[in-house]
Amino acid sequence: MKTTRRNILLSALCCISTSMANAQSFWGNYTTEWQWDMNKGTNWVNLLRLEMSVPLWKGGSLEAATLHVAKTGDGIIDDWQGFSNIEADNMFAGIAVLGYMHEWKAGHLFVGVRNVNEDFFTSDVTALFTNSSCGIFPTIAASYPIANYPLSGLTVYFDVSKGGWIFKNSLYNGVGYNGWKHHDNPFIVNPKRDGIFNMSQLEYSWHGALYYAGVTLHTRRFVFDDEGEMAPADEAVHKTSCAWWVYGEQPVWKSDGKTITCMAQYSENTCRESGCYRYAEAGGAYTDSLNMCGISGQYAQFCQDNEFSLELTWRRQLTKSIAIQPSFQYINNGNGNFIVLSTRLCCSF
């Protein structure tokens, strides 16, 4: 039975690959990052993301994306938020997206495998920073084993827009997966064990400004020990918990294609025994035609202690498809003080 299901998945991906030549909508991104803890610790992380879209009929398409991760070692510091948003266990291939997308004038509907990073917590400023908390709040990522990079899960997603407003909503299996085995694959639906996870977000954009607020609901409360380690899903409590957040991004200066933008965000989990109860961040970024540099300060209240972090980063566009980005981070938590220098090279094709 396990072999049969695995063959079905592989056959489906092979059929998709065969269609790529006719689809003419295949693209990808390769990111490589060198990390140094200012001591003896170094790491080299590589992430390849391949994407495609195959039109089926008017408004409908088959969407797919895979993740491929390779690194030379494990984490070089004892931080909790994750100072690198691309670091993950070595993975030959994992499914990030695979399903049907339907688009109409006022919105989208997707059914299939997906993860929260595809649709939520995205903005020009947060996308600049390399700390994981800029991609998803730790009040959510550290509190639930959901479909968050590099994990995915079966999802029903939709958004509707009107004027500058967009409402997004996703319904997921309560636990994310990225394997190819019977008990570990992103097609699993098990509400009895994993629970159900729902995420909603309302966005408003106007003249370069972006504001949004959102809330999540999970039908399970996951158990954590004194070190902040999460117990397996089958030990979760059958109680509902929520997390909410607000975000604001506002340009404060513009001149001849140059912009300075300020940002702030805040989030809480309704359960004080969650992995992370409270999170806040403030920062800003300067942007011109070739450069984007920024600074952000973060505070996260984890169940084991508090963590403070500061990031300085600069991304330089070398060509249309190649960018280089050095970053500096200072992190303080119950394990000590840490400094990390990293250099990231991004190539799109």
Q: pLDDT per residue over 170-223, tens digit each?
A: 999 999 999 999 999 999 999 999 999 999 999 999 999 999 999 999 999 999
Residues 6 or more apart whose Cβ sits within 8 Å of residue 64: 13, 16, 51, 52, 53, 54, 95, 97, 98
Q: Are 148 and 138 in contact (CB under 8 A)?
A: no
Q: Which residue has the tokens 């490589």?
A: 32
Q: Is 145 helix (H, G, I), strand (E, B) or coil?
A: coil
Lowest mean pLDDT among 2-11, 261-270, 276-285, 287-296: 2-11
pLDDT at 218: 97
Q: Extract the tokens encoding 178.
A: 């990225």
Instruction: Write the single-letter amino acid at 24.
Output: Q
* Closest to 92 (Cα-Cα) out of 52, 47, 146, 154: 47
pLDDT at 18: 46
pLDDT at 150: 97
Report the alpha-carbon distance of residue 12 to residue 244 in Å, rounded.
Answer: 37
Looking at domain 2-348, what is its CATH homologous superfamily? Porin (2.40.160.10)
pLDDT above 70 covers a percentage of the chain that reads 93
Q: Is 307 helix (H, G, I), strand (E, B) or coil?
A: strand
pLDDT at 326: 98
Q: What is the pLDDT of residues 32-81, one digit of tens each?
A: 999 999 999 999 999 999 999 999 999 999 999 999 999 999 889 999 99
pLDDT at 3: 46
Largest CA distance in the chain: 63
Report the alpha-carbon distance of residue 262 to residue 246 in Å, rounded.
Answer: 14
Q: What is the pLDDT of residues 127-185, one digit of tens each?
A: 999 999 999 999 999 999 999 999 999 999 999 999 999 999 999 999 999 999 999 99
Query: What is the pTM for the complete model shown?
Result: 0.90
Instruction: Write the single-letter amino acid at 5.
Output: R
pLDDT above 90 covers a percentage of the chain that reads 87
pLDDT at 19: 44
Report the alpha-carbon distance of residue 290 to residue 92 in Å, rounded.
Answer: 33
Q: What is the pLDDT of residues 97-123, one digit of tens each?
A: 999 999 999 999 999 999 999 999 889
As a whole number, the mean pLDDT across the chain is 93
- Evaluate if residue 4 carries a pLDDT over 60: no
pLDDT at 24: 53
pLDDT at 12: 47
